[in-house]
Chains A and B, each alone.
Chain A
Amino acid sequence: MTIFEKIQYTRSGKRPTASAYINALFTDFTELHGDRRFGDDSAVIGGIAMLRDTPVTVIGIEKGTDTNDKIQHNFGQANPEGYRKALRLMKQAEKFHRPVITFVDTAGAYCGIGAEERGQGSAIAENLYEMITLQTPVLSIVIGEGGSGGALALAVADTVWMLENAYYSVVSPEGCASILWKDSAKADQAAAALKPDAQNLYDLGVIEKIIPEPADFSADAEKEQFFSSLEKELTAEIRRLQETSSDTLLANRYEKFRKVGRI
């Protein structure tokens, strides 16, 4: 697949969404709602669960599955209260020394009148600012679309993984093509130029691991195998992060972002 074909695949609806990961990788998931300030954004789901015998906080951007479900989750485009709910749950995780695991899958933060009125920029900024010093391990997995600031707001983590066909980009290829070349039909060229695929991000040192995908997620046996192997890697990585002292963890996290574009 070309980079643009991979991007189209992440949007095809033929891949598991965040809730499928939560169901497959954890037990006893209890969803916790609301940002305690304005409302509950169903584009972001979060709560407490068990990763084997470790209590963890799990947060995901959920795109929804069928049409009604997609509408219900606003197509995985979060409003400020979604980011604020995520931050509230992360602060709660910090208090109880629970590792945080996030699943990123969004075309981008929602852009609308209400989102601006309630401070979309401020909400994202606040997450970046707080996550860099959150005193508990944070692991993020980009499972499909990693759309700009709306994705980064859940991915300031000690470890960032990406699925083989996922992308993570500063701008959508359509947006890039339309701004630079006044032609959104040149999205495939923009995608090639932006290099937002897992391999390029790995080479740039932005992510730590590329997760291989089954050829077809609709094949049950392959999907089961995929989740089972991911669960093993997740458990091992969370254990490693938990064994790291808090000072070292935070110093490494700062350095992970500090080094990108260091001159």
Chain B
Amino acid sequence: MDLKALFKKAGNTLEGGVRIVKKRSSTLSCPRCGSEYDKDSVLKNHWACPRCGGYFRMSARRRLRFLCDADTFREFDKDLATKDILEFPGYPEKLSKSAEKCGQKEGVLCGVCKIGGYDTCIFIMEPDFMMGSMGSVVGEKITRLFEYATEHSLPVVGCTVSGGARMQEGIVSLMQMAKVSGAVKRHSDSGNFYLTVITNPTTGGVTASFAMLGDVIIAEPGALIGFAGPRVIEQTIRQNLPKGFQRSDFLLSHGFLDAVVPRQELKDFIIKMLRIHA
């Protein structure tokens, strides 16, 4: 890795987030070792680097294709769009830029599908939509999904990636934490299964609500998972953070994850959990 890249601030505020650098339309370079590949060989290797094992960031649709059985996904609330409730400066522009960038109206993809033949509700957060942040639409869509799953006695598989609650919607974003947690509680009280798959990075209000509420909580290796972001902690305590701090293995050893599951084994793990809870 060249020194300049080492000291460069992350390209966006997703803590430690690494972005896929598109050299040409079909070439991808590994966020960890920099090796370049054509899209197909990365795809065949479950979006992991064939050389160093580093993970490429997956958009929500890509992850959906990776996890769901082909042609089984029925999307919910696709066109639910955000209102600029607080008339926050610059927010409408950010929303339309994000929508353009990832072809999604908001930061989460929700619906029903089959995984390994098992019916399940699924939500996948979108890393490129305003850093996967949770505003009213993200909260509303996930809440509706849990309410649907409760009504139809279906499990929920949720993949998280988020910088936390979205600032531009102020208190309304904060309240989504309580709203979604309430829907998760009702789903759980009705005896339904919820599996959380935490991916890099998941912080703030999402960690402090539905990411940590699964019956089974797993994470991809090396994912940053925390309440406060590492930079904020460093600024607060004025110390360097220990190696591996807030990464998947750290949470596993402190008792906050059930397992760290490599991407290549993720679908099989999910199928096993759905079979056991079917």
Contact residues of A with B, CB < 8 Å?
109, 111-113, 115-122, 124-126, 128-130, 132-133, 148-149, 152-153, 156, 168-171, 175-176, 179-180, 189, 193-196, 200-201, 204, 206, 254, 257-258, 260-263
Contacts and interface: CB of A to CB of B under 8 A. Distances in A.
Q: Which of B175, B207, B213 has the most CB of A within 10 A?
A: B175
Interface string B219-263: 000000111100011001101011001100010001110000000
Nearest to A131: B178
A152 B209 CA distance: 11
B171 interface: yes
B212 to A, nearest CB: 4
B143 interface: yes
A149 B166 CA distance: 12
B174 A148 contact: yes
Contacts, number: 174
B176 interface: yes
Contact of B136 (A124, A168, A263): A263
Contact of B137 (A122, A125, A204, A263): A263
Given A128-B177, A129-B181, A111 B143 contact: no
Contacts of B226: 116, 120-121
Interface stretch (B30-38, B110-118, B151-159, B182-190): B182-190
B108 interface: no
Interface residues of B, number: 61
9 A-B pairs with the lowest CB-CB distances in the bound complex, closest first: A261-B136, A111-B228, A121-B207, A128-B181, A121-B227, A124-B208, A120-B227, A260-B175, A125-B212
B257 to A, nearest CB: 10
B136 to A, nearest CB: 3
Given A170-B173, A193-B86, A260-B172, A124 B143 contact: no
Contacts of B179: 257-258, 260-261
A124 B165 CA distance: 14
B17 interface: no
B167 A152 contact: no
A120 B232 CA distance: 14
Contact of B182 (A179, A257, A263): A257
Given A132-B185, A263-B137, A125 B178 contact: no
A120 B241 CA distance: 16
Nearest to B94: A180
A77 B192 CA distance: 35
Contact of A112 (B86, B212, B233): B233
A263 B140 contact: yes
Contact of A194 (B86, B178, B207, B242): B86
Contacts of B52: none
B175 A206 contact: yes
B277 to A, nearest CB: 19
Nearest to A259: B179
Contact of B189 (A109, A133, A258): A133
18 contacts: A112-B236, A116-B233, A121-B207, A121-B208, A121-B212, A122-B212, A128-B178, A128-B182, A128-B209, A149-B174, A149-B204, A149-B205, A169-B174, A170-B171, A170-B174, A180-B167, A258-B143, A262-B140
B182 A254 contact: yes
A113 B86 contact: no
A169 B85 CA distance: 15
Nearest to A263: B140
Contacts of B184: 129
Contacts of A130: 185
Nearest to A253: B182
Interface of B: 13, 80, 83, 85-86, 88-90, 135-137, 139-140, 143, 165-167, 169-179, 181-186, 189, 204-205, 207-213, 225-228, 232-233, 236-237, 239, 241-242, 245-246, 250, 254-256
A91 to B, nearest CB: 14
A244 B95 CA distance: 42
Contact of B171 (A111, A153, A201, A263): A201
Given A120-B228, A128-B181, A206 B209 contact: no
In this complex, the member of A115, A196, A257 whose beta carbon has the largest number of chain B beta carbons within 10 angstroms is A257
Nearest to A262: B140
Given A133-B185, A168-B171, A195-B86, 19 more contacts: A109-B208, A113-B233, A115-B227, A119-B256, A120-B228, A122-B256, A125-B211, A125-B212, A126-B212, A149-B174, A179-B167, A189-B89, A193-B86, A195-B170, A200-B171, A206-B171, A258-B143, A260-B176, A261-B176
B213 A129 contact: yes
A196 B227 contact: no
Contacts of B211: 121, 125
A206 B226 CA distance: 27
A75 to B, nearest CB: 11
B94 to A, nearest CB: 9
